[in-house]
Structure 1
Amino acid sequence: MIIPLADSDLLIKAPCSFLLIGPVREPFILFIETSTDEYCQHLIRGDLIAVSAPEGGDIRQAKLLLELVRTWHTPLVVLQSGHPGSGRLKMIVSAGDTISLNCSIQRGTHPEQTVICSSEELAGLSLHGLNGKVKISNLPSCAEILILNNDGTTRHYNKK
């Protein structure tokens, strides 16, 4: 399924979790910080920024995280595997042209931006940015797609 993003973001909502997806609107360097290294990832217009909420939560919080990266180019901090803070991360961010959801990884411990921790119900879903559109593969039947408007309201995505 390919969905145009235009000036809105997408919300993939499952019964207990969600994923917020927004397009990169201007090229920038995303800095990814670990305890020993710094990675620089060049993001271009049309790439994706995803915020995963494996336990659900407030969509406004996810929108803030999305904007911190998209608008303010806030660096991402990656924890070491086994870090006790990992379990306290309620939402996780990933960015790039392709992002896959995986429920068997530890939250916040992967500098690779091609994978993001998700709930079991959204695991296996994959996203690919296509110049102002997003290709969604392996959408589970329990999930619905909503358009998140700039004013915070949502509407169902109508497949034509």
Structure 2
Amino acid sequence: MSRKPEGGASGGSPAGKGEPVPLGDELLLIRGERSFLLVGKAGSRFPLCIETPDDEYCLAVDPDDLVAVSMPEGGPVEQARMMLELVRRYHIPLVVLPKDHPGSKRLSMVVSVAPEIHLSCDIRRGTHPEQHLLCSSGELTGLSLAGIPGGVLLKHLPDGAMVRYLDAENSSADKQQ
């Protein structure tokens, strides 16, 4: 199921206050020309463990917090959906790689869970334990998202970025993308 978000979110949000987009159980797909970001609400309160090279710590995730999966080179939306649900429904821990880990180059997707998330193309994938910062492609860099009651606030939505809803349970139309 897809539908255009209310308020006409289809690119170019103002740099100021941002654009609120309603979001319930469905997922929000923000797509550039070659990359995308899949976003959902956490939906419940749960602890999420972050595994770093030197330590483990747990975050308290609240229902309005966001779970975001970035695929900087694009790929199957269904793959991103599975990753999002592993975190949101099954509370799978997130792993942070050391800064110079060779595997960072091969990560096709990265995940962030936080009340507010900022996208940047200037960071190395998988190496940032700070959950407010998420690696993205250059075409989505600068985008900020904040979980709000009943929705998500989009700030700095890049021109040309398309925003649409995906039904949380059925995405067969997006499997081929």
**Same fold flag (TM > 0.5):** yes
Whether the 8 Å CA contact 1:146–1:154 is kept in 2: the answer is no
Identity of aligned residues (%): 50
Query: Structure 1: which 5+ residue stretches go unaligned?
Result: 156-160
Structure 1 residue 35 and structure 2 residue 57: aligned? no
Secondary structure, counterpart of 2:139 in structure 1: helix
- Structure 1 segments, 4+ long, off by >2 Å, are none
Which structure carries more relative contact order (alpha carbon 8 Å, separation 6+)? 2
Whole-Å separation in 2 of the counterparts to 1:62 and 1:130:
22
Q: Show the 5 A alignment for 1:1-160.
A: 1-149=19-167, 150-152=169-171
Kept in 2, the 8 Å contact 1:2–1:133? The answer is yes
Residue 153 of structure 1 deviates from its aligned partner by 5.7
Aligned residues: 155
| TM-score normalised by length of structure 2 | 0.85
Where does the alignment leave 5 or more consecutive residues of structure 2 unmatched? 1-18
Q: Which has the higher strand share?
A: 1
8 Å contact 1:126–1:136 — kept in the other structure?
yes
Please give the alpha-carbon distance, in whole angstroms, between the structure 2 residues aligned to 1:76 and 1:131. Answer: 25
* Corresponding residue of 1:158: none
User: 1:154 & 1:137 partners in 2: Cα distance?
Assistant: 28
Amino acid at match of 2:90: W
1:66-111 CA distance string (max 9 Å, x none): 0000000000000000100000000000001000000000000000
- Determine the C-alpha separation between the residues in 1 that align with 2:82 and 2:28: 14
Native 8 Å contact 1:104 1:117 kept in 2: yes
**Residues 137, 153 of structure 1: CA spacing in aligned structure 2 closer, same or farther, 3 A cutoff?**
farther
